[in-house]
Structure formats: structure tokens, C-alpha cells
């Protein structure tokens, strides 16, 4: 789980991870003090190895949530954190624009 950035006199902006939207993995992460940063409806990253996927309906991951711990209250900073995580967690060359657009739509609400 990467520490995202330093802000405001070297205080960490938080810790981010992703999880399945339900099940024991999510339960454990929530018990560890994480909150949903971006809900499943707005978190749809591309599959990591799209060239190996035969069924095109599996190109977009539809069962993940993005979670954060020790997040700032400011929604602009939360958006920055979510975008930064996606940009560094996924493979170079992947088209992240659809995922980032969904995340931005969530924070625009």
C-alpha cells in the first residue's frame, strides 16, 4: 500500500489500496481502519493484461473499490490521491482515461 505524498509540513496524505467490493479481503481492510475512497460504481480500471483476455466483457474490472486511510477532508486532495494511485498502480501503456473520468465524476458530485 503506497504512501501517496507528503503535504502540509510532511504529513502523509494517506494510504491507498484497492480491494474486491465484497468479501473477507474487504472486511479485513475495513477493520484495519480504511474507508471507501471511490466506490465500485466509479472505480472500473482496465484489466492488467488486456491482450490475454478473450472475452471482451472482462476487459474492465467491475468488482473493485478504492480504499484510503488517514485521508484529508478536502475532496480535491482525495481526487488527487485517487488519480495518483491509479496512475502508478496500473501498467504503462494502459488507457487510464476511462477510469480517471469515472473517478472525476464521483468527486464532482
pLDDT of residue 1: 42
DSSP letter for each residue of 26-45: HHHHHHTT-EEEE-GGG--P
Q: Is residue 96 part of a domain?
A: yes
Number of domains observed in the structure of the chain: 1
Global pTM exceeds 0.85 = no
Q: Is residue 49 part of a domain?
A: yes
Element (H, E) at 73: none
Q: Is residue 90 part of a domain?
A: yes
Q: Cβ of 5: how many Cβ atoms within 10 Å?
A: 13
Q: Give CA–CA dist 60/47, Å, rounded.
A: 6
DSSP 72: -
Residue range of the domain that includes 47: 6-108
Q: What is the mean pLDDT of each run of 10 residues along the chain (109 residues)?
A: 52 84 96 96 80 70 92 91 89 84 95
Amino acid at each position: 500500500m503506497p504512501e501517496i505524498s507528503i503535504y502540509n509540513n510532511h504529513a502523509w496524505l494517506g494510504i491507498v489500496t484497492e480491494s474486491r467490493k465484497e468479501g473477507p479481503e474487504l472486511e479485513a481492510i475495513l477493520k484495519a481502519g480504511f474507508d471507501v475512497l471511490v466506490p465500485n460504481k466509479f472505480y472500473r480500471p482496465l484489466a492488467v493484461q488486456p491482450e490475454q483476455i478473450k472475452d471482451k466483457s472482462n476487459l474492465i474490472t467491475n468488482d473493485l473499490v478504492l480504499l484510503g486511510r488517514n485521508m484529508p477532508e478536502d475532496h480535491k486532495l482525495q481526487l488527487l490521491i485517487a488519480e495518483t494511485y491509479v496512475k502508478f498502480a496500473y501498467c504503462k501503456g494502459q488507457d487510464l482515461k476511462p477510469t480517471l473520468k469515472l473517478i472525476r465524476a464521483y468527486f464532482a458530485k
